[in-house]
Amino acid sequence: MTARRHHIARGNSSFLSNHSRALIALWLFVFGWLSPIATLHAQQPATNAPPTTFNQNGFFRSSQSATRFKLERTDVGGEAELLTVFSTHDEQSAPDSSLTSSLASPSSPLATSSVSNGDVPLVSILRDTLGDSDPTNDVLRQVWMLTYTRPTMKQRLAAATPFLYARIGNKKSVGKGVPPAVIDLGATDRDVWQRFMWIALQSLVFDSQGFAVKASSRSYRRNISDYRKAHLIRALAVLALYEAQGNTVPAFTPTELHEISARLTLAETTFGGIIDDINLQRVHAKAIYNTEYTRGQNWELLRQRAEAEGLYFEPITTPDGTPTHAVVWARRDELAANPKRAFNKRFLNFDNPYTDKRLRNWQGYTATWHFDAQHERVSSDAEGARPAEMIPLALYGFDHPKIPIMLVDFRDRFNPKRREMSKRVLEDVARNVLAVSVFGDLSFFLGRAVYDFATGQRGADINQPSRLRAYSQLKLVLALDSTLDEPLREDVARRLETVSLNPMENDATNEARIAQAQYKRLIEHARKPDGLLAEVRRNRKIELRRATQSGTARTLTRLGQIASLGLYQPTGKWNGDSRERLELARQLKYHNRFLRQVAESSPRIEVVWDINRVRDSLLFIAEHGTTASKQTADATAKIFAHTEDDDLRRLCLKSLYRIDDAAAKSALVRINRDDKLAMEWRVLSRDYLRLTMEEARPVTPDDARIIAGIIEE
């Protein structure tokens, strides 16, 4: 018993039995959202916002034009380039935009020529070109979401404080250092091993040091992970908007765009950094499908519920016209006419507006819509149009599993935060205080699963997955879209900041300043001989070492990196022929990836793919593919089987001969022994097999015996 109490004091156990702790944790998950957190009072806006008139062209549309995007290229020593996506507004843009006004001010120390024109840097991507114009040897490296910055010491301390779920201030200065990249596309596997190392440290070291260390370390890792994830989401959204713009010269190839999109998406997952490149196209397509499906489902759920309760549904779109959020409105005259109307809050998750006395004397933001005699919404100049004063009730995000997620409640600014906190608080209590989890206690796992299913089916926005994605995207929409009505934009932005649970977050105005300041630092770093160019050259040494290492050496290096938390990073040597060897390795990787996509996509190559591009890749392998991989050999053999083009088939056979891998020779043996093939291909494969034996190329012992028999025939 003494030892057991000693463990209690250290935070490793409890005087309660495992079963009791699980039941307590489950009870907290069911009823915890009714805890003292719920005693926060609703707050009504302190100032009157002037009514705003809608037009018939869109949501909150004013005379301003929508945000557009442009791309700026910065040369890095003639060997690489920095590609930066800017948001830009035309001369009609409002000069008091919350995002650009502080940056464009001539008195601002951060003002530059691009900002003075209303342009704001958003995302920068480094492309290593090896100093030429050949896209087959280009590699994408770091991605900077320019609002992503190193937290201050105050923010770090707050992030490590258990059960602190609020912003505590802004970072005022970015300092003189180089801004941190949100991801390195050339070394995504590094994130995976570092994540596992931190998990091991947490479980084996920190969790055994008592409640304070355990809870603080877990809170800090959770906050810093969510902070990075939020900026990954924004970077992905910005690049999607730039791609959707469609009227600019493409800065990225389709393959590069899919790689960026997929890698940013996978960075949020445990094993995403080690996913094979061949799967990136599939990941990109699946992400698009899931997003469209989720948005469509949530759109319809929210629209139906709003209309069923006599309310009005209006979508918010991104600058490319994609609906990602929506506002539910009420007509003031209808509220007054139905003071006792029943109300079902399913999926809406706010209080009955018909019985709410606050709405009868609403002093907050309102908008003016116009309706005809049939109660259809029309433009203000339509015949018989009658004005109606509209009151916003809540704002929702569509990019959330199961249900539309509330981000803003215009009557109770703490309602969304309580709902966001419900899952986080109760998980922290269960894990850090009661020391139970869904993986360690069967009764808690089963009870939690049943409860989550029930709340999901009922559309209850409690203990739901984090609304981080919807929150991050709305923050980006508010920052980018100058066509949103300014008073409402400011009101939503102000309320949205109260939803944030992360002490590391900065508000929109400060993020704008941070973006411009960090872009300035990044450009300065790119222009220094010992700056970004030196990093590019160092990364090339690492890349070349990894491309030429044996499997055993690569494993030993990886173990050293894991043990050192990623600090150990041998760079390798760089000599006279290193550039040519690296160029060849990159080109082989490029053609390998393309040929594998071709081989896996269609039973008939000529129907789907550009046959000239396929021919070019096979020709490169046939001439330079000595060190190509087994994957390339397998893809080449599949292409031979799936094409009727004679030139492609000849190139396939030559490529299989050129590749110094036993799998390639096994494919030639199978082709030679295929009785269904024309004799021309069997004879040609036999000739290549004869050359294979004469030149002592690698084959398996079984294939060597078969080849000997083939040659003797």
pLDDT classification of 482: cutoffs 50, 70, 90: low
Average pLDDT for 26-32: 42
What span, in angstroms and rounded, lies between the C-alpha atoms of 652 and 53?
66
Q: Is the pLDDT of residue 360 over 90?
A: no
Say if residue 2's pLDDT is above 60: no
Contact 469, 477 (CB under 8 A): no
Which tens digit of pLDDT belongs to each residue from 483-518?
678 888 889 988 888 888 899 999 888 888 999 999
The arithmetic mean of pLDDT across residues 460-465, rounded, is: 60
C-alpha 616: how far from chain center: 34
**Residue 392's pLDDT is what?**
95
517 φ/ψ sector (left φ>0, alpha ψ -120 to 50, else beta)? alpha
* Contact between residue 365 and residue 488 where contact means Cβ atoms under 8 Å apart: yes
- In the chain, the percentage of residues whose pLDDT exceeds 70 is 81
pLDDT for res 588: 95
* Spatial CB neighbours of 494, under 8 Å, sequence gap ≥ 6: none
Q: Please give the pLDDT value at position 531.
A: 92
Which of the two residues, 318 and 57, has the higher pLDDT score?
318
Q: Over pLDDT 90: what percentage of the chain?
A: 44
The count of other CB atoms within 10 Å of the CB of residue 489 is 22
Burial per residue of 386-414, b for 16 or more beta-carbon CB atoms within 10 angstroms, e otherwise: eebebbbbbbbbbbbebbbbbbbbbbbbb
The 10 Å Cβ neighbour count of residue 295 is 20
A 10 A CB-CB count for 106 gives 6
Query: Is residue 169's pLDDT more than 70?
Result: yes
pLDDT at 100: 35
339/711: higher pLDDT: 339
Average pLDDT over residues 511-532: 92
- 623 by DSSP, 3-state: which? helix
- Report pLDDT for 55: 35
Which one is predicted more confidently, 628 or 485?
628
Give the predicted TM-score (pTM) of the model: 0.81
- Mean pLDDT of all residues belonging to the chain: 81
What tokens appear for 69 in the block? 């995007």
CATH number of 578-712: 1.25.10
How large is the average pLDDT for residues 405-418? Answer: 90
Lowest mean pLDDT across 353-362, 473-482, 664-673? 473-482
Residues in contact with 668: Cβ distance below 8 Å, sequence separation at least 6, in sequence order: 653, 656, 657, 685, 688, 689, 692
Residue 283 has pLDDT above 70, yes or no: yes
Residue 246, pLDDT > 80, answer no
Note the pLDDT of residue 559. 75
pLDDT of 118: 62
pLDDT of 567 strictly over 80: no
| Residue 453 near residue 75, CB atoms below 8 Å | no
Query: Domain extents for the chain?
Result: 1-527, 578-712
Q: How many helices (H) and strands (E) does the chain have?
A: 26, 12
pLDDT class of 58 with cuts at 50, 70, 90: very low
pLDDT of residue 672 exceeding 90, the answer is: yes
Q: Which pLDDT score is estimated for 53? A: 37
Average pLDDT (586-607) is 90
**More confidently predicted of 499 and 593:** 593
Mean pLDDT over 69-77 rounds to: 92
Burial of 509 (0-12, 13-18, 19+ CB in 10 A): middle
pLDDT of residue 26 exceeding 50: no
Tell me what the mean pLDDT of segment 572-579 comes to: 86
For 74-110, the pLDDT digits (tens) are 999 999 999 999 988 654 433 333 333 333 333 333 3
